[in-house]
């Protein structure tokens, strides 16, 4: 599984950080979300999918 964030549309709402704090974090300026692990193991799939669903601007995608 590979996670990507479209930083052009990310508004740093932080919903993904609340859903999956092991995978996402707000940057130091709280302007965009940082990906902590772009290729997490399958054990993180459910929380990653919840993070994707929680993003109000649909800036997160999962491949594989």
Q: Give, rounded to a whole angstrom, the gap between the first and last alpha carbons of the chain.
A: 5
Q: What is the mean pLDDT of residues 1-15?
A: 96
pLDDT tens digits for range 21-57: 999 999 887 688 999 999 999 999 999 999 999 999 9
Measured distance CA(35)–CA(49) in Å, rounded: 14
Q: Of 51, 58, 52, 47, nearest to 8 (Cα)?
A: 58
Select the more confidently predicted residue: 19 or 31.
19
Write down the pLDDT at residue 28.
80
Write down the pLDDT at residue 60.
98
């Amino acid at each position: 599984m590979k996670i990507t964030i479209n930083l052009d549309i990310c508004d740093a709402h932080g919903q993904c950080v609340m859903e999956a704090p092991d995978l996402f974090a707000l940057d130091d300026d709280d302007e965009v979300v940082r990906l902590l692990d772009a290729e997490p193991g399958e054990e993180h799939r459910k929380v990653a999918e919840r993070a994707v669903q929680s993003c109000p601007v649909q800036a997160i995608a999962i491949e594989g």
